[in-house]
């Protein structure tokens, strides 16, 4: 009972800290753009510079076999390597959602996550941890027992109506991903009457509104590459990724080693790192704030190169602005 009380106190404290911080920056939000910032661990976390989320799967059947690590010691080793390489967030999942995968029960999913989260949280207490789940029961357990910071939900709350109030109560950040249908039938649900970009924006808007109405402040938008989209639609969505800035929230791009890369190239997921790196840079240039990847070191290099390019662009814009003002003054 004492342990349960402590857990409740910690989560209530985190919620109160978040509310207080939002009040403090509320006046600034009236005049400045904060579309790439969230509050994590009571602090304003800047996503405008590009962040990397490393993938760890406590599953036996995730589509990319090298991401699987059911052994706690191995998961801890990989987490340490990702953090050392520069990962900003660790995304840990206990349920594969690839087509044809066998879905575990909520209890089995928690049991898969338990040793991995316990080991990582004990060794890396300050790590920002996301748990990849579409179940509110799993989300609550992970938030209360292992103080995960973010819930990454591939269904955007569609699979579990209790997800929105659960996330609001725990004070966690929330990755709201767009999808249609279940993993086994989403490939047949790719008909968007007004085009994929307009359709995904419209459907995402309904989900965002529901979560914000429930009191969820820290939302990250994921367009859901590969989920209820054809290969062509994935690229159309990536080309218009900047349209998702309308939600005034960080944008996550999850394209790592997905079939939109390896299938048209006639290769395997294991051979898709160069393509992943290319799409990572394209995502950043189109407005992504977070790259969710299997290969952290490569993604960190991509982000660093993007920042160099971004800085150069800003310098050139400043020079052009100065020249324009001087030219105007002379006239």
> CA 52 to CA 42: how far, in whole Å?
20
Across 78-100, b (16+ Cβ under 10 Å) vs e yields bbeebbebbbbbbbbbbbbbeee
Active-site residue flag, 137: no
> CA 34 to CA 26: how far, in whole Å?
10
- Residue where the block lists tokens 């660093």: 304
| Residue 108 near residue 73, CB atoms below 8 Å | no
- Residue where the block lists tokens 């995960």: 148
> CA 56 to CA 52: how far, in whole Å?
13
Active-site residue flag, 10: no
Q: Looking at 135, 140, 207, 292, which residue is catalytic?
A: 292
Q: What is the DSSP string of 77-114?
A: HHHHHHHHHT-SEEEEESS--STTPPPPPHHHHHHHHH
| Residue 176 near residue 203, CB atoms below 8 Å | no
Q: Looking at 68, 140, 240, 258, which residue is catalytic?
A: 258
CA angle 264/265/270 to nearest 5° reads: 115
Catalytic residue numbers read 258, 292
């Amino acid at each position: 009972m004492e342990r349960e009380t402590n857990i409740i106190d910690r989560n209530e404290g985190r919620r109160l800290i978040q509310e207080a911080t939002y009040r403090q920056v509320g006046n600034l939000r009236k005049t400045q753009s904060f579309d790439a910032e969230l509050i994590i661990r009571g602090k304003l976390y800047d996503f405008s510079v590009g962040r990397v989320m490393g993938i760890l799967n406590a599953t036996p059947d995730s589509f990319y076999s090298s991401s699987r690590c059911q052994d706690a010691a191995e998961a801890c080793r990989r987490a340490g390597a990702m953090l050392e390489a520069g990962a900003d967030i660790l995304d840990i999942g206990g349920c594969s959602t690839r087509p044809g995968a066998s879905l575990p029960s909520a209890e089995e999913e928690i049991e898969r996550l338990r040793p991995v989260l316990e080991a990582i949280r004990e060794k890396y207490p300050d790590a920002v941890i996301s748990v990849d789940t579409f179940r509110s029961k799993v989300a609550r357990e992970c938030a209360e027992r292992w103080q995960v910071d973010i819930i990454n939900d591939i269904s955007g709350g569609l699979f579990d109506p209790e997800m929105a109030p659960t996330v609001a109560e725990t004070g966690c950040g929330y990755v709201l991903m767009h999808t249609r249908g279940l993993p086994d039938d989403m490939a047949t649900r790719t008909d968007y009457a007004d085009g994929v970009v307009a359709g995904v924006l419209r459907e995402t808007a309904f989900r965002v509104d529901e979560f914000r109405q429930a009191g969820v402040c820290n939302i990250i938008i994921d367009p859901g590459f590969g989920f209820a989209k054809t290969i062509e639609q994935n690229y159309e969505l990536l080309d218009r990724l900047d349209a998702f800035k309308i939600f005034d929230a960080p944008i996550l791009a999850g394209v790592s080693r997905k079939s939109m890369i390896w299938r048209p190239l006639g290769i395997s997921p294991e051979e898709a790192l160069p393509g992943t790196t290319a799409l990572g840079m394209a995502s950043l240039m189109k407005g992504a704030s977070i790259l969710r990847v299997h290969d952290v070191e490569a993604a960190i290099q991509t982000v660093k190169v993007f920042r160099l390019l971004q800085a150069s662009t800003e310098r050139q814009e400043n020079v052009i602005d100065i020249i324009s003002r001087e030219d105007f003054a002379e006239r």
